[in-house]
Amino acid sequence: MLKELYIENIAVIEKTNIEFTEGFNVLTGETGAGKSIVIDAISAVLGRRTSRELVRTGAASAFVSAHFANVGQAVLDTLDELGYELEDGALLIEREFTLSGKNNCRINGRPASLSALKEIGRYLINIHGQHESYELMSPDLHIGYIDSLGNLSADFQEYRKEFAHYKELTRILSQKDTDDRDRARRADLLSFQIAELEEANLSVGEQDALLEERSILANANRLREHLLGASYLLSGDGGEFSGVLSGLSDAVDEVDSSASLAESFDSLSQRMRNCYFELQDLASDISREAENIEDDPARLEEIECRLDLINKLSKKYGDTEEEMLLYLENIKAELDAISRFEEDREKLYEEQRKSFELCNELAVSLSEKRRKISEEFSSQVAQEMHLLDMPSAKVEVSQLTCPLCENGIDEIEFLVSTNAGEPPKPVAKVASGGELSRMMLAIKTVLSHSDPTDTLIFDEVDTGISGSAARRVGDALRRVSVQTQSLCVTHLPQIAALADSHFLISKNEKDGRTFTQVTPLSYDGRVQELARIIGGTGVSDAAFDYARELLSENKQ
């Protein structure tokens, strides 16, 4: 459950900390006080999309953290999959987002991604907003409620996976059947490219080696001149100029003489000899390299032609020899696939047939389960609607068979009758706004028994409801909160009076700035707030009396 919510610099909330309790938590306040901001903050910490407009004016970033306790098994399994652990049974999720759009998320102090927050959040909190009532106007969404009640997620995902495979096979076969000319043209092109690349006989590193050899041949005279000069300076000319090695030899003799007089100079003597021998070998190598350099115009022209060919091929097939050889490998495989087209097509047709049969088998099984669940769904939702002051309500689930599609073979639509003697009709044709809200609440109440989330939030689901229906709605919310922690944003005193914990969202101005604060209410505070909701701007003694009466009834 959600134990604590900390909000900083989100919209008009500068800083606030809310400590929720088990059971039924209610948030009330005047219109525009910031109730929706609290819901926005919770959505943010669950990894959902945010807007830079949420960052408080004058602040560079916004921050929200949520502390959870006694989380369910679904949360524990998800944390384990993502590589996170609980600390003393507690879960702390934090998110900071900036005006520039950057996010900094943490789970129990460890860095996390937005997708990780979203993955865990779907099992922590489920937010039901007033707009969801209008989902009932869209029959396409009704099938999801049936699957949710029956815990058919695994069956549905198995079907969707196979159906996606069937669609892909159908797409490939359709493309194969209509692209014969394109295939022939493609085969000709691939054959030409393969011949061109194979004739070139490329090897990895060849271009670099050729560039080095070209540089040597193109600068043969200068290279030979430099190397011979170095050899002359090292070895001398055999005449008057003795060179570096001759002088170094004399130096070696002098140090050897010192070593013969004192053993402490032996290491110097050895080092001098090593230097002499290394320089002698180097002089020999330089002389040999100078002798090996020859002018070869024919080889230079051959290299230029080869480099020109490699350059032309690289413009078509890849920047490096590795990329060109990989391209050659790929087009060979593609040409081979085209050559084996007829054989592959027959295999694909057989695979498509088997996939269709499996899809149909899975869809039929799913449809039978949905039919059984629909009967249970109709009965339970109608029962809940009776408790919500709709005693004549009847609910039916229309389940028609259709060709294989994303959802199986079912077209499901809810039919409802809210008045005695009227046959059930599509929801969009008979339900008012208040009736939609109550029907959605009835559905959510039924689904709450199979909902894996630890906390349910109802954001003004009482829209369009008043009178005795309001109390019935409150009773329904209270029943849900017996099994699952519930948070409700409401404008109705009948619902607010049923809360286990009541929080007031209020807005104040200071130094020309607006500040929203969240205050847990005592009994007297609740009486004051309920009386305000009842009486509006002018709160009478009767409003206070009715507020106390509502709280007394709740206590009983």
Specify whether the CB–CB gap between 173 and 349 falls below 8 A. yes
* Cα dist from 111 to 10, 70, 91, 107, 532, whole Å: 22, 22, 14, 6, 44
Question: Can you give the pLDDT at residue 273?
Answer: 87
For the chain, first and last CA: distance in Å?
26
3-class DSSP assignment, residue 406 = coil
The Cα 142–Cα 413 span in angstroms is 6
Which is nearest to 108 in space by CA: 96, 125, 91, 89? Answer: 91
Q: What is the DSSP string of 236-272?
A: --SSS--HHHHHHHHHHHHHHHHHHH-GGGHHHHHHH
Query: Could you say which DSSP state residue 87 is in?
Result: B
* Cα dist from 54 to 3, 13, 37, 98, 126, whole Å: 23, 10, 8, 10, 21
Q: Which residue has the tokens 């069956």?
A: 155
Question: Can you give the pLDDT at residue 397?
Answer: 92
As given in the structure block, the two tokens for residue 241 are 């100029």
Type of residue numbered 370: R
Domains of the chain, earliest start first: 2-159+359-521 (3.40.50.300), 202-335 (no CATH)
Specify whether the CB–CB gap between 501 and 25 falls below 8 A. yes
The helix or strand, by DSSP H or E, that contains position 472, with its residue range, turns out to be helix 468-483
The Cα 440–Cα 456 span in angstroms is 14
The Cα 90–Cα 73 span in angstroms is 13
Query: What is the full per-residue pLDDT of the chain (556 aa) written as tens digits?
Result: 899 999 999 988 888 999 999 999 999 988 877 788 898 899 999 988 888 888 988 899 999 999 999 888 888 888 988 988 887 778 999 999 998 889 999 999 899 999 999 989 888 888 876 556 666 777 888 888 888 888 898 899 999 999 999 999 998 888 766 667 777 788 889 999 999 999 999 898 888 888 887 887 777 778 877 887 887 788 776 666 778 887 888 888 888 888 788 888 888 888 888 888 888 888 888 888 887 787 778 888 888 888 899 889 999 998 889 999 999 999 998 888 877 776 777 888 899 999 999 999 999 999 999 999 999 999 988 888 888 878 888 899 999 999 999 999 999 998 888 888 888 888 877 766 667 777 877 887 887 766 667 788 888 777 667 777 778 888 888 888 888 889 998 888 989 999 999 999 988 888 778 788 899 999 999 999 999 988 876 778 888 898 899 888 877 6
Which is nearest to 508 in space by CA: 40, 18, 29? Answer: 29
Type of residue numbered 399: Q
Rounded to 5 degrees, what are φ and ψ at 193? Answer: -65, -40
Question: Can you give the pLDDT at residue 134?
Answer: 60
The widest CA-to-CA distance across the chain, in whole angstroms, is 131
Which is nearest to 112 in space by CA: 31, 47, 68? Answer: 47
Query: Residue 63 forms beta bridges with which residues?
Result: 8, 96
Question: Can you give the pLDDT at residue 354?
Answer: 95
The Cα 11–Cα 95 span in angstroms is 15
Which is nearest to 156 in space by CA: 374, 367, 443, 357? Answer: 367
For 329, other C-beta atoms within 10 Å of its C-beta total 11
The residues near 238 (Cβ < 8 Å, ≥ 6 apart) are none
pTM, 2 dp: 0.59
Type of residue numbered 75: V
3-state secondary structure 170-194: HHHHHHHHHCHHHHHHHHHHHHHHH
As given in the structure block, the two tokens for residue 325 are 């050889």
The Cα 249–Cα 277 span in angstroms is 10
Question: Can you give the pLDDT at residue 405?
Answer: 92
Q: What is the CA radius of gyration of the chain?
A: 41
3-class DSSP assignment, residue 101 = coil
